[in-house]
Structure 1
Amino acid sequence: MRLGCNHNNTIKIPQPDHSRKRPMTKTDPFDISDMILTKPGTIVDSETLLRNTQTRIWASLKKDYRYKGVPDNSTKFLRQNVFKKFNAVVLYVDLVGSTEIALGLPYEKLAIIMGAFAQEMASTVDHHGGLLLKFMGDAIIAYFVPSKRVHFTADQAVRCAKSMSLVISEGINPILSQYDYPELHVRMGMDYGTNIVVRYGSDPKLSHVDLMGRSMNMASKIQSVANADQLLVGEDVYKLLHPRLQEEFEIVVWKDINWKYRSLDTGNLYKVYALK
């Protein structure tokens, strides 16, 4: 399948790992309030997911637990597609109040908490079929590349963001509160569109690779105007969502924010939707 604007460039879409394929269930695929991915190949109830998260966070704080980390599938994918264009759903996750958190914690505890937060978020992205682009201090950038079912990819990206919020609010924060550590809160922004892979240098194996594009920029702009613990999505994402997921969003009416970005398709003000 060819994606993007350059007909000479064929994107190598990440292929699913069938050894990690999820078992079929009778659960409505658009009703996941009580069923969430916890590790590759399985689906468990949210209570089990949160209990596992809390166990890891507690062990990190008290028993020097070390995360195994998430495979860096993104770098491999980008190196295979240098200077090629493709469409993707981009997700920005930014930690709110990170300066206050850093000032209020010993360095050792700060490193443990931030490391655990990053690994839990990266794991959630991986379990929902996304690719982790990078950590940027207190922010995480991920992207989801569609193959044939772009609507399904948009749904998965939104489910990923919802799972992230759940892991933070009901998995991580209760453990932090037990030890009088500050709770974590995030702003999330999401958009869909064409991006291009860039490589800074001539070495195909060692030179840094990255993504650039309007959806990258818009996801960042959208995230910057979100409230704490809020997910905002651009209209290009919203239009791809299943109607049942669309019902969970409402259009943002700008009051105190000068939102000036316009749709490339219509020229009208670019619409943004908030998860209720």
Structure 2
Amino acid sequence: MQDIHRAHWLAAKCRLLSPIRDFNSIQTRVRQTLDKGVQIDLSTESCKRFLRRRVNQKISVVILYVDIDGSTKMSMSLAPDKFATILHIFSQEMSLVIAEYGGYVLKYVGDAVIALFPAEYDSSQASRNAIECAKSMQEIIKQCINPELRSHGLPEIRAKMSVDNGDVQVVLYGKSIERSHIDIVGLSISMAAKMNPLAQAWHLVIGQSLYEKLANKDDFVEINIDPARWTYVDEKSGSGYKLYALK
């Protein structure tokens, strides 16, 4: 019975879309982080709990990959503590947005935040949630984070985002369900990471698999990519795997 209740709860969570957002509160939190230090402890524990219930299973997910454009150059020009603060603010605010749209933070990798959105019950809705989440991330960076960075004499940041969906395998690296490392393996997470460098600053790029699930495709346009830079093939058609950018 608990599993049934949890399934219904996850399905309802997946339907979450376009939450009401208080930009003033977000900007205040960013300012407090800059003035007083870290405000929130970031953790991937909720995602690990989600995955532990699905060890050795294949699950349908939408993967969102967001990182800071030009972070390497920024790290070379800023004092380590200032750069670390920018990274924490970015990761903090992106993580909170992900949770608002029913997603989980899978991992933090350098300047990147990788999220998964469960798509077991409604893959179309999960896809829309991930896209709306990416749009909200852009808004928050532009309206809340960058104004505070500017006022504190720090460089503004720009983000690149990529989203794709598909089945992944949940893998436990060890014996202990509670202590062993747990992760996902699959084409969708690899594809989202490989797509990201092809996105320009402030751009959202999605894969063909996700695009085909969208009811309204008018907001996206196909990207013409140099075949030397993108050699991935769609498993179903055998032709090149297409990418699309938000207009």
TM-score (norm 1): 0.80
The answer on 1:54 being equivalent to 2:27 is yes
Contact 1:235 1:270 in 2 (8 A): yes
> How much has 1:256 moved relative to structure 2?
7.9
Match of 1:119 in 2: 92
> How much has 1:109 moved relative to structure 2?
2.2
Quote the Cα distance in structure 2 between the aligned partners of 1:196 and 1:234: 19
After superposition, what is the alpha-carbon deviation per residue over 1:103-157, rounded to whole angstroms, capped at 9, x for unaligned? 2222222222211110100000000001110001111111111243221111111
- The letter of the residue matching 1:265 is K
The answer on 1:272 being equivalent to 2:243 is yes
- Paired residue secondary structure (2:9): coil
> How much has 1:73 moved relative to structure 2?
1.5
Match of 1:94 among 67, 70, 74: 67
| Structure 2 gaps, min length 5 | 1-5
Match of 1:9 in 2: none
Quote the Cα distance in structure 1 between the aligned partners of 2:8 and 2:175: 24
Quote the Cα distance in structure 1 between the aligned partners of 2:56 and 2:224: 37
Match of 1:174 in 2: 147
Match of 2:183 among 206, 210, 221: 210
Match of 1:15 in 2: 9
Contact 1:191 1:219 in 2 (8 A): yes
After superposition, what is the alpha-carbon deviation per residue over 1:68-109, rounded to whole angstroms, capped at 9, x for unaligned? 546732000111111110111111112211122222222222
Quote the Cα distance in structure 2 between the aligned partners of 1:230 and 1:219: 14
The answer on 1:164 being equivalent to 2:137 is yes
- The letter of the residue matching 2:108 is F
Contact 1:190 1:233 in 2 (8 A): yes
**Structure 1 residues 275 and 239 mapped into 2: Cα distance closer, same or farther (>3 Å)?**
same
- The letter of the residue matching 1:100 is K
Q: Percent identity?
A: 34
**Structure 1 residues 59 and 17 mapped into 2: Cα distance closer, same or farther (>3 Å)?**
farther
Quote the Cα distance in structure 2 between the aligned partners of 1:154 and 1:14: 19
Quote the Cα distance in structure 2 between the aligned partners of 1:200 and 1:14: 29
Match of 2:3 in 1: none
- The letter of the residue matching 1:206 is R
Match of 2:230 in 1: 259
Quote the Cα distance in structure 2 between the aligned partners of 1:214 and 1:87: 11
Contact 1:94 1:186 in 2 (8 A): yes
- The letter of the residue matching 2:112 is A
After superposition, what is the alpha-carbon deviation per residue over 1:232-273, rounded to whole angstroms, capped at 9, x for unaligned? 000111111231xx2111111124863211101101111110
> How much has 1:67 moved relative to structure 2?
2.0
**Structure 1 residues 13 and 75 mapped into 2: Cα distance closer, same or farther (>3 Å)?**
farther
Quote the Cα distance in structure 2 between the aligned partners of 1:249 and 1:105: 36
Match of 2:166 among 188, 193, 197: 193
Q: More deviation in 255-264 or 151-160?
A: 255-264
Match of 2:45 in 1: 72
Quote the Cα distance in structure 1 between the aligned partners of 2:44 and 2:185: 22
- Paired residue secondary structure (1:269): coil
Q: More deviation in 107-116 or 227-236?
A: 107-116
Quote the Cα distance in structure 2 between the aligned partners of 1:147 and 1:216: 16
Match of 1:109 in 2: 82
- CA-atom RMSD in angstroms: 2.3
Contact 2:59 2:120 in 1 (8 A): no
Quote the Cα distance in structure 2 between the aligned partners of 1:219 and 1:100: 23
Match of 2:128 in 1: 155
**Structure 1 residues 236 and 199 mapped into 2: Cα distance closer, same or farther (>3 Å)?**
same
